[in-house]
Amino acid sequence: MQVGFIGLGTMGASFATNIQKAGYDLIVHDIARQAAQRHIDSGAKWADSPRALAEQCDIVLTSLPGPPEVRAVATDAETGLLAGMKPGSIFYDLSTNSPAVVREIHAKFAAKGVHMLDAPVSGGPKGAASGKLAIWVGGDEDVFNANRAPLDAMGDAVRYIGAIGAGSVAKLVHNSAGYAIQSAIGEIFAVGVKAGVGPLALFEAIRMGARGRTRTFDSLADHYMINSYDPADFALKLAHKDVSLAAEMARDVGVPARMIDLTRAEMTEALNRGWGHRDSRSFMLLQQERADILIDEDESAVEEVLNSDKK
């Protein structure tokens, strides 16, 4: 199997190295040839363009900055991958990309008989180097199952998510949630320090609280994923009281707390629905209503997901 890799930046360079370590013959390309030198020194071949690389490969992987770069590398009429890839060959895009762009590119590749899958990654530079990496794949499941080996050489948590674009959806949900959480922590942590608690003491305290001891997204399994908010583990009216006290503390010390105010407004709307006795997570139902969806998964299936990384 001849594997090609395009995009040898901070993340891509480590991906390509791990593919080489797994024993694959590698052909590489980057906008800056010097970025490929360590891979060439380790036996990789250089290609002068994405098209030249594609003409020689069964599987091509790209790790690029964003949608414009992926579109150019994939579909340029003269030098792009599509001009060189053979019917039946595989294209994995590892980039953080727009689901709409992914689907657009997929359609063009499918018309030529080439399988395109989106496979964005999560783990950062350390994970890219160590192989402690999640890879979320969208596209044809049979194609993925038959051609997943190069992905397994890069990451220890390679998972099929769904149809084309699904991997990109998962990546954007993950990253945006993470940054929103950071924003909220930054806001209320500043309030806590302004209220008189030292940063290190505050950090030491909150990391051992209920939220600090829980994997961020695992908490979705309780009530939210299974659409079960009664009886409550912790009542919404009590959670509303806590957030209201935090908002008052922020006002007392003169620190704006827009995200806390927004959270309290959401909780207040839920209280006005008569949900005060329901679990504190019940206010999350409001956004489901706005999106016109209902999340209601089988409890045993959710439990299986929680236990999957313990096997």
The closest of 116, 112, 61, 50 to 86, measured between CA atoms, is 112
From the candidates 112, 171, 237, 310, give the one annotated as an active-site residue: 171
How far CA 198 is from CA of 86, 193, 201, 204, 207, in Å, comes to: 61, 6, 5, 10, 14
Residue 217: both structure tokens together: 């997204």
Distance, in Å, from the CA atom of 53 to the CA atom of 6, rounded to the nearest integer, reads 9
The closest of 279, 176, 165 to 224, measured between CA atoms, is 279
Q: Can 21 be counted among the known catalytic residues?
A: no
How far CA 64 is from CA of 35, 104, 228, 273, 288, in Å, comes to: 13, 17, 41, 46, 33
Distance, in Å, from the CA atom of 115 to the CA atom of 168, rounded to the nearest integer, reads 16
The closest of 101, 177, 164 to 137, measured between CA atoms, is 164
Distance, in Å, from the CA atom of 86 to the CA atom of 83, rounded to the nearest integer, reads 9
**Residues annotated catalytic, as ranges:** 171
